[in-house]
Amino acid sequence: MKRSFFGKLIAVYACGTVLCMVCVALFWSKSYRDEHYARLEQVLAARAVLVAELARREPGEAGSSLKAIANRIDTRVTLISPAGAVQFDSMEEASRMDNHLDRPEVMAATASGRGTSIRRSGTLNEEMMYYCAAQPGEGGKPAGYVRLAFSTTSVRRSIRRVYLAIWSGTAVATLAALGGGAFLLRRITRPLTRLQESAERLKSGDLETPIRVDSRDEISLLGESLERMRTNLREVIGRYGEAAGRLEALLAWMSGGVVATDEHDVVVFVNDEARRLLRLPPDATGRRLSELVRDRELLDLMQESHRLEQPRTEHLTLLGAEERFVQARIAPVHDAARKFHGAVAVLVDVTELRRLERVRSDFVANVSHELKSPLTSIRGFVETLRDGGCSPEETRRFLAIVEQEAERLENLITDLLSLSEIEARRAALSVAPVDVNEVARSAAQRFGEAAAQQGLAIDLKLATGLPLVPADENLLGQAFGNLVDNAVKYNRPGGSITLETAREGGSVLMRVHDTGIGIPSKDVPRVFERFYRVDKSHSRRLGGTGLGLSIAKHIAAAHGGGITLESELGKGSVFSLFIPSSTIAS
């Protein structure tokens, strides 16, 4: 058990006080007792002189008068011969008494003229003080002894009374001293206790409660120092907290994933992006990373970085529902003494970057391929014609093919240019209120002849009261035209095309229904990609480049809208182009 400072002080003080008081009481008691017995001895000595004188003057009838005097002064008188025989005793028959030379007081008197002894009397069975005086005789030898005995009972009673007074007085004084001392000590130690409580509060993290000490001594100086320490600490911790908060916000909201582990591989920090990339549970903090992550590559990289004591950077493929590519940077954390304290991993998701790179390289490959095949064809026919030997009929046919291929090249280049133009000027469309019914009517007119040639009818199902939409009319016409063009190209003889306009929510819809060949469901998500064609040879035969839908989709997106597609193989397709109409009233 921890003993308090006050407890220790009061224990020492109490022991000291009690010890002092007991010493004082013992000293007083002893002095009083010694004093009392000394006085009794003096009285007995005086009486012995008188008794000796009496015995000498009346040797014959000493017995009776001595007895009377002895009774009067409550003192037993014994006269002893030089040989030790009892000649007279005031309380006993002398002849029956034994030799008294061996009594301590008699022996002392033989040696020095007088002797005193306090002991229990065998005859009277009580404690007595014996005083013996040797009577001077001839040649320095005692002529006999006078011995007086006085009961100490009354003396002891009186001593006991005084003892009681001394000890009870001492006890009261001790209690008073202890009470007063405890009060004073409490006053002295209370500020210390307060300081200790304040220090405890500081230790438990309470930096708000001020530290005050009500005293005007060294303890108050200590209190002031502690108070200064508290305010400084609060300021420092406040600044540290702000910095930590900023850092945490930065780490939490940065685009990369961050995971920090301690020296035991336990996760101490993880942000949302890292949680998403590594598929970590919400309670990942405080658990071992190797138990949470199944991507061996990442764990190996972290170990390698720890082993080599160097940062490592690597591109990794993370497993999961969908494959993700990340650039992982691992840095070991060391303190000033190069002691390892864990690692920090920064993961940057480069999946989209990779996809874009692939799209770009695919695009270049596709463009090269699309340009190469008509050029190869043109060169082949030109060489054949240059070599001569062709009939006029063949020459005409070859030239027609060359013309057709040249036209395809032109279409391709026109489409590529318009695609890049739309992408480039996305922010600067020449927007004006456009009537979508008008756009549909103009498309029907433009493609009317081509449709009629294939025995197709174009029906119009235009809604009335549609709002005008904010759009670039030429581009919108181009996008919608591409959809109608496809409906004509990928239709079947005797089929039909319906152009429909409608209002849906905050958007205006332009739909193209056809009863054509339809699109297999696996190709539906891909037909909007550049150069993607379901049936390459069929499209190419029709002079298609595979860019029409991609252009239409870009135009719709540039207007804040989009294109959706529903199709059933062998039955037909429905393309719906929607443009938000919210900004312009009808």
The residue within the footprint of ligand ATP, chosen from 332, 342, 481, 516 (CB under 6 A), is 516
Give the residue at shortest CB distance from Mg ion. 548
**Contact mark string toward ligand ATP, 523..552, x via CB under 6 A:** ----x----xxxx---x----xxxxxxx--
Q: Between the CA atoms of 470, 475, 478 and 479, what dihedral angle is there, to the nearest 10 degrees?
A: -60
573 binds Mg ion, rule: CB under 5 A: no
Find the shortest distance in angstroms from Cβ 428 to Mg ion.
Answer: 26
Report the C-alpha gap between 24 and 523 in whole angstroms. Answer: 115
Strands 324-334 and 340-349: antiparallel
470 binds ligand ATP, rule: CB under 6 A: no
The H-or-E segment that residue 52 falls in is helix 5-57
Q: Which amino acid is at 82?
A: P
Find the shortest distance in angstroms from Cβ 275 to Mg ion.
Answer: 44
Find the shortest distance in angstroms from Cβ 281 to ligand ATP.
Answer: 43
| Residue from 61, 55, 58 nearest 81 by CA | 55
Number of Cβ within 10 Å of residue 91's Cβ equals: 14
Task: Choose between 297 and 566: whose C-beta lies nearer to ligand ATP.
Answer: 566
Task: Choose between 266 and 419: whose C-beta lies nearer to ligand ATP.
Answer: 419
230 binds, among Mg ion, ligand ATP, none (CB under 5 to 8 A by kind): none
514 binds ligand ATP, rule: CB under 6 A: yes
Q: Could you tell me which residues come within 8 angstroms of residue 70 by beta carbon, excluding any fewer than 6 positions away? A: 76, 77, 90, 91
Report the C-alpha gap between 60 and 64 in whole angstroms. Answer: 10
Task: Choose between 326 and 563: whose C-beta lies nearer to Mg ion.
Answer: 563
116 binds Mg ion, rule: CB under 5 A: no
Backbone conformation region of residue 4, classed left if phi is above 0, alpha if psi is from -120 to 50, else beta: beta
Count of residues engaged in binding Mg ion, rule: CB under 5 A: 2
577 binds ligand ATP, rule: CB under 6 A: no
517 binds ligand ATP, rule: CB under 6 A: yes
115 binds, among ligand ATP, Mg ion, none (CB under 5 to 8 A by kind): none
539 binds Mg ion, rule: CB under 5 A: no
Report the C-alpha gap between 171 and 191 in whole angstroms. Answer: 31
**End-to-end alpha-carbon separation of the chain, Å?**
88
Cβ atoms of 257 and 278 within 8 Å: the answer is: yes
Q: Which of residues 402-431 bind ligand ATP (CB under 6 A)?
A: 415
The residue within the footprint of ligand ATP, chosen from 486, 501, 515, 581 (CB under 6 A), is 486
Report the C-alpha gap between 322 and 349 in whole angstroms. Answer: 13
553 binds ligand ATP, rule: CB under 6 A: no
470 binds Mg ion, rule: CB under 5 A: no
486 binds Mg ion, rule: CB under 5 A: yes
Q: Which amino acid is at 114?
A: R
Find the shortest distance in angstroms from Cβ 513 to ligand ATP.
Answer: 9
Q: Is 492 helix (H, G, I), strand (E, B) or coil?
A: coil
546 binds, among Mg ion, ligand ATP, none (CB under 5 to 8 A by kind): ligand ATP
Q: Is 152 helix (H, G, I), strand (E, B) or coil?
A: coil
Report the C-alpha gap between 134 and 262 in whole angstroms. Answer: 104
The residue within the footprint of ligand ATP, chosen from 519, 558, 563, 579 (CB under 6 A), is 519
Find the shortest distance in angstroms from Cβ 459 to ligand ATP.
Answer: 16
487 binds, among Mg ion, ligand ATP, none (CB under 5 to 8 A by kind): ligand ATP
Count of residues engaged in binding ligand ATP, rule: CB under 6 A: 25
490 binds ligand ATP, rule: CB under 6 A: yes
Find the shortest distance in angstroms from Cβ 349 to Mg ion.
Answer: 35
174 binds, among Mg ion, ligand ATP, none (CB under 5 to 8 A by kind): none
Cβ atoms of 305 and 329 within 8 Å: the answer is: no
533 binds, among ligand ATP, Mg ion, none (CB under 5 to 8 A by kind): ligand ATP
Number of Cβ within 10 Å of residue 294's Cβ equals: 13
Backbone conformation region of residue 74, classed left if phi is above 0, alpha if psi is from -120 to 50, else beta: left
Instruction: Count Cβ neighbours within 10 Å for each residue of 7-40 and write b for 16 or more, e otherwise.
Output: eebbeebeeebeeebeeebeebbeebbeebbeeb
Q: Is 132 helix (H, G, I), strand (E, B) or coil?
A: strand
Residues that bind Mg ion (CB under 5 A): 486, 548
Q: Give the residues lining the site for ligand ATP (CB under 6 A).
A: 415, 482, 486-487, 489-490, 514, 516-519, 527, 532-535, 539, 544-550, 573
